[in-house]
Amino acid sequence: MSASWLAVEAGEAKYLFPLGHAGEIFPWTPPEAVPYVQPWFLGVANLRGGLYGIVELSVFASGGVAPAGGEAARSQSRLVALNEMLEVNCALVIDRLVGLRGVEAFVASEVPGADAPAWLGHAYIDAAGERWQEINLQALSQQPQFLTIGV
């Protein structure tokens, strides 16, 4: 079996990150808040000596509001850094790591709609009928709405 993606859950959604785009996985580290930023930008954190912007993936992807629950709800949360080659010091908050997945783990796929954001890849359906959305982290890291954290 060859793995192509890191499978994660964030909010109500299931996502697939291409392994070549994902970087190191860190335990939840509470970020230092930054004023006048988008609701999905939680702040900055020192991760292994580097300063990273912390993005709540579920809020960014849905355009919703930050989940309630505080630090106690973060016990399984992780920070998935974007690969160094993308040249964006950013880590995405995910609620749960699910593991590695290859294309053989899915029974069907759907192409993104014409109105879908450029950073969304194919959606894959597994044998249990669960929908997994691929996120092209390289395309995401270049999107103006992702790079513009100020309000």
Residue 38: the pLDDT is 95
Average pLDDT over the chain, rounded to an integer: 92
Between 2 and 40, residue with greater pLDDT: 40
Q: Is the pLDDT of residue 66 over 70?
A: no
Tell me the backbone φ, ψ of residue 144, rounded to 5 degrees: -55, -40
Report the C-alpha gap between 52 and 42 in whole angstroms.
11
DSSP 3-state percent helix, strand, coil across the chain (nearest 5)? 15, 45, 40
Please, which residues bridge with residue 100 across strands? Answer: 6
Question: How crowded is the C-beta side of 77, counted as CA atoms within 13 Å?
Answer: 24
Residue 2: the pLDDT is 67
Residue 30: the pLDDT is 94
Percent of the chain with pLDDT over 70: 92
Q: Is the pLDDT of residue 68 over 80?
A: no
Residue 69: the pLDDT is 58
pLDDT in tens, 125-147: 999 999 999 999 999 999 999 99
Q: Is the pLDDT of residue 75 over 90?
A: no
Q: Is the pLDDT of residue 1 over 60?
A: no
- Nearest Cα to Cα of residue 50 among 70, 23, 19, 22: 23
Residue 71: the pLDDT is 63
pLDDT in tens, 85-95: 999 999 999 99
Residue 70: the pLDDT is 61
